[in-house]
Chain A
Amino acid sequence: MQTTNDVTFGVTDPIFEIRNASVTFDMERGTSRVMDSVDMNIQRGEILGVVGESGSGKSMFASALLDAIPDPGQLSGEITFRPESGEEIELLQQSESEIKQIRWEEIAMVFQGAMSSFNPTMTIGDHFEETLDVHGYDVDDGMERGRDLLSELYLEPEQVLHSYPHELSGGMQQRALLAMSLLLDPEVLVMDEPTAALDLLMQRSIIELIRKIGQQRDLTIVFITHDLPLVANLADRLGVLYAFEFVEVGPANDVLTGSKHPYTRALLNSTPNLHTPREEMRPIEGKSPDPVSVPDGCTYHPRCPMSDDNCVAADPPFQAGSGATDHQAKCHYIDDVNEAVPLNLREVHNE
């Protein structure tokens, strides 16, 4: 078995390089480590899907990419952002005013719960103008671009801009928010469960729009969800979060059809068909770990059918096993996984 400590994951032109990034909260019962020494590379122009169960740290990862961990959380480590032109930027070394410029101009974010992303006493248009204004953009030009974006997202620009948030449906608010996130023409768009509150049909159509817009604008998209079937059709690569760290990273198709980590396999096996709505998904057995005291060794060992003493004693590094090096997992026994936890997936649609 070949052990690589290479965490570039085959990424050749990284727009983001994340090394040893941790997020901690000081709590009464101890330090809560809700992101645990995460390493990740994000390829320029790709759609990276990030999946994990609820509480696994997905939103923390998203916030970390904008250095926007909610107070009183502490973010440490290195996050290097390489814009298309210009110097590379150490995100965590920036002053408050510098980071304010990077956010939304270079890296924008669509949040979990679009419904509450707009101030209810301002029209959508007010939000657009305000965003352009505080970043010193020409408001007239910017609003022109905003109107184009809204049309591209199949919205009636004038009507939407004059509406208050509550006058729009959930799907319309979601698309208006998408338009606002692209208003300053960012290079990266981080989307944290952007479709969670929408019905299935609306989810699919938004996913299509995201794919289209991403291609047109050379956008790097980080798409976060607990809904594996949802990203399966969208993402170029997948990262699987378990217990506040990535446990498997690789090209979407490889991760879905030849998962190297037992957790990913359990996740896939709990989804009988990638088109099954998440309501019908069965959860994986066992409890997800507590961020104050994660298990020693491999964090998955209490739930892993393959775990042994070695797993309890030592935390496995990322490794590729005998397969391709751009597809890695944190497991001591990668090459045995296929036999021990066979995938019962019948069809995969990753077109």
Chain B
Amino acid sequence: MRYFVKRVGQSLLTIVSVVVFTFVMIRQMPGGPLAYIRAQVMQSRGADSIDMAELSKLSVDYMNYSVNDPIHVQLFNYTAQILQGDLGRSFNYGEPVGEIILKSAPWTIFLLTISIILTFAIGILLGAVMAYQEGERFDTAWTGVSMFLNSVPYFVAALLFVYVFAIQLSWFPASGNVASNLDSALTPQYVSSVLYHATLPIASLVLTGFGGIALGMRGNAIKEIGEEYIRVAHLRGVPGRRIAIRYVGRNAVLPLYTQFMISVGFMFGGSVILEQIFAYPGLGYYLLEGINARDYPLMMGIFIVITVAVVACILFADLTYGMIDPRVSDEASREAY
């Protein structure tokens, strides 16, 4: 319980620090949000008539704080609004940031969910087979392939796929999440168009990701196969299939659980570049758009959402691992993870 409180506290502290840090950093940037708003007002009203009250109102609307307040009040108001779920309004799109996030996040989550499931399913199965074939041709060949694929960065694969399969061969679309002439409804055309558009982004994550999981699974499973209790289980008459699943498989997969949750976080971060390469309108795409257009509310909002998602995944992994794997039930050993 003390561990639980400590870990939740740590996570909240991380999130608050990130909020404060982005707040401060963005204010320090040349041409910060204030300059942007001022320029906007000047554009629409003519050069000289800058009304401080107007400016303050606009900054509250977009940024959640008034430029006339002292800085600590600004920070306080800003944080308070975020905690209430109000992330401000996008300069560029004019919409509330929260709405842009609600619109784009499902696409990112869709991409990541399928990618992660495939990465782990392929990696775990392959790793298990490699372990049972340890030292044979299949194992050596796939160990080499896995090591190679694992060392390729996902964005290199993404660029390569776009170039070869989208631009050169035109087998897959180079951008977008669904054909623009289709209404969003659960029709077969719509679903297949969505999958068609998602194929290359998913493939670049999965192909560069499963090797690492396979190698991890292989190592864990080989260690398990050599354990004394596996031999004892055989002698107790436990069937080989059950040993492969309940003993070797389960014991080897459990340590991957933490890796699983961490890679969820990692992929959230990776979505920024990936979605840019495929012009895929998810969270990461809007984040980079926001950065390019100096759309401060948008970039801060998405940045904070991604941070919270990553921290939450790691926290969840940490808190639930002990329940899933009885080997780490006491707090002392859990700290090591």
Contacts and interface: CB of A to CB of B under 8 A. Distances in A.
B251 A134 contact: no
A130 B238 contact: yes
Given A120-B229, A131-B237, A180-B236, 5 more contacts: A104-B236, A104-B237, A116-B227, A121-B325, A121-B326
A218 B254 CA distance: 43
12 contacts: A100-B237, A103-B236, A111-B228, A117-B232, A119-B233, A120-B326, A120-B327, A130-B238, A131-B237, A134-B238, A135-B237, A164-B327
B238 to A, nearest CB: 5
B70 interface: no
A180 B237 CA distance: 13
Contacts of B235: 66, 68, 103-104, 109
Given A119-B251, A120-B251, A134 B327 contact: no
Contacts of A113: 228
A113 B231 CA distance: 12
B266 to A, nearest CB: 27
Given A164-B326, A164-B329, A166-B327, A119 B237 contact: no
B327 A119 contact: no
A129 to B, nearest CB: 12
Interface string A67-87: 010100000000000000000
Contacts of B254: 121
B30 interface: no
A101 interface: yes
Interface residues of A, number: 27
Interface string B210-249: 0000000000000000011101111111110010001100
A244 to B, nearest CB: 21
B250 interface: yes
A118 B228 CA distance: 8
Contacts of A120: 229, 251, 326-327
| Closest A-B pairs by Cβ, 8 of them | A116-B228, A164-B326, A117-B232, A100-B237, A134-B237, A119-B229, A120-B327, A131-B236
Nearest to A130: B238
Nearest to B324: A121
Interface in A115-154: 116-123, 127, 130-131, 134-135
Interface in A131-187: 131, 134-135, 164, 166-167, 180
B224 to A, nearest CB: 9
Contacts of A131: 236-238
Given A121-B250, A121-B326, A134 B232 contact: no
Interface in B28-81: none
Interface in B253-289: 254
A121 B328 CA distance: 10
B326 to A, nearest CB: 5
Nearest to B251: A121
A98 B227 CA distance: 25
B233 to A, nearest CB: 7
A130 B251 contact: no
Q: Which of A119, A121, A127, A166 has the most CB of B within 10 A?
A: A119
B237 A101 contact: yes
A348 B238 CA distance: 44
Contacts of A101: 237
Contact of B237 (A103, A164, A166): A103
Contacts of A119: 229, 233, 246-247, 251
Contacts of B326: 120-121, 123, 164, 166
A70 B247 contact: no
A122 B247 CA distance: 9
A101 B237 CA distance: 7
Nearest to B333: A166
A111 to B, nearest CB: 6
Interface in A292-330: none
Nearest to A105: B237
Contacts of A104: 235-237
